[in-house]
């Protein structure tokens, strides 16, 4: 049986997912902030 370096691949993918998730959360927070600002001015 060959030993595939799956743990390394999974680690790298998880890092990418974490980075994407952080970016999405940041985006959502920015959107929420801009919506809140619009509510204040309206």
Hey, where are the domains in the chain?
A: 1-42
Average pLDDT for 5-34 = 82
The whole-angstrom separation of Cα 33 and Cα 23 is 15
* 38 C-beta neighbours (distance < 10 Å), count: 9
| 0.85 exceeded by pTM | no
The pLDDT assigned to 27 comes to 95
Say whether 19 sits in a helix, a strand or coil.
helix
The pLDDT assigned to 5 comes to 60
Q: Which pair of structure tokens corresponds to residue 9?
A: 């691949």
Mean pLDDT of the chain: 81
């Amino acid at each position: 049986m060959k030993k595939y370096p799956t743990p390394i691949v999974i680690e790298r993918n998880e890092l990418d997912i974490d980075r994407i998730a952080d970016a999405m959360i940041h985006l959502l927070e920015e959107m929420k902030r801009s919506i809140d600002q619009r509510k204040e001015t309206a």
